[in-house]
Amino acid sequence: MTLERPASALPGVRYGAVARYADDRGAFRELWRASQFGAIAPADAHTAPSDADAAPEAAPAFVQANLSSSAPGVLRGLHFHRRQLDYWVVASGRAFVALVDLRPMLYDGAPAPSVETRELVADEWVVIPSGVAHGFLAMGPLELLYLVTNEYDGSDELGFAWDDPAAAVPWPAVLESADGRPILSDRDQSNPSLADLLGRLRHDP
């Protein structure tokens, strides 16, 4: 059973929550069920700047599940996929989630991306279609489960700087660090600018 949450302004993005059944022994949650999730639209799992209508040969489906654990103040992002839809479920903790929709810039010549942020807590989920850059800040100890429609091989792991002013994501200050800045991986510290990523996508779809 899934519980609805306020709708997203970004096409293809969905929010909700899973029901938790608890007693004095513990708790049970059904995190995903194919019949309730429904079919994945090919355009939501495959983005090609040279052809917005391009679709993979096979119907998209979830093929890999991952569990991410993050310490307070860790920021992961902003990541971008051309051939992958993500389904994130917060298993425990709180996540400040940022979504940056690059599709209007790639296809419609929009001067700026559409940005949406939301805080998700345990049992809440979000569906992120391809073409929407994404990241999250751990607001405390965080476990995030995510299902994806593309097996990891490194060829579709793109992204841009978490603090790029062209996106201007309103990240909260990080109380765990002296300067209020988040803890980043080496990859996320070296991500290019949004302008550089867009140039690459337009040149090499």
DSSP E strand boundaries for 13-167 = 14-18, 20-23, 26-29, 64-70, 75-80, 86-92, 94-101, 114-121, 124-128, 132-138, 142-148, 158-159
Task: Name the CA radius of gyration of the chain, rounded.
Answer: 17
The angle formed by the CA atoms of residues 39, 40 and 42, to the nearest 5 degrees, is 130
* Right CATH for 2-203 from 3.40.50.300, 2.60.120.10, 2.60.40.420, 3.60.15.10: 2.60.120.10
Domain ranges of the chain: 2-203
Average pLDDT over residues 81-102: 97
Q: Which pTM does this prediction carry?
A: 0.91
Does 179 score more than 90 pLDDT? no
pLDDT at 51 over 50: no
Continuous segment of H or E residues that includes residue 166? none
pLDDT at 196 over 50: yes
Give the tens place of pLDDT for each residue, 10-21.
999 999 999 999
What pLDDT, on the 0 to 100 scale, is given for residue 50? 46
Beta-bridge mates of residue 32: none
pLDDT at position 52 over 50: no
More confident call, 120 vs 52:
120
User: What is the rounded average pLDDT for all residues in the chain?
Assistant: 92
Compute CA 182 distance to the chain's CA centroid, rounded to the nearest angstrom.
18
